[in-house]
Amino acid sequence: MAKAMARHILVKTEAEAAALKKRIAAGEAFDMLARKHSTCPSGKKGGDLGEVRPGQMVRAVDQVIFKKALREVHGPVKTQFGYHLIQVFYRD
């Protein structure tokens, strides 16, 4: 079965996600921003979701993890939880 390693930042608003994405593009560390801003428990680990398999995450996040380019920061992606920035490291 497919698996991937990813991390994310979850925030309440699209504007906040877009602002964080700009900060990452300007060179700020994804993991540090996740620790400071993410509302997900994974934020304490720098946004690390570990290895995930298809169907473990909500559909919109799953689509990014298993279909989008590796190592890029994708988003904001809207779900019922808020807005995500997602980065995928590898996919098998």
Task: Give the mean model confidence (pLDDT) for residues 63-87.
Answer: 97
Domain total in the chain: 1
| pLDDT (0 to 100) of residue 39 | 98
Would the pLDDT of 86 be above 90? yes
Residue 1 — pLDDT band, cuts 50, 70, 90?
Answer: confident
> How far apart, in Å, are the Cα atoms of 55 and each of 30, 41, 45, 63, 71?
25, 19, 22, 10, 21
Torsion angle defined by CA atoms of residues 58, 61, 62 and 68, in that order, rounded to the nearest 10 degrees: 170
Residue 85 has pLDDT above 90, yes or no: yes
- Read off the pTM: 0.95
Domain range for 43: 4-91
**What mean pLDDT do residues 33-48 have?**
98
- CATH number of the domain enclosing 41: 3.10.50.40
Question: Average pLDDT for residues 2-24, to the nearest whole number?
Answer: 98
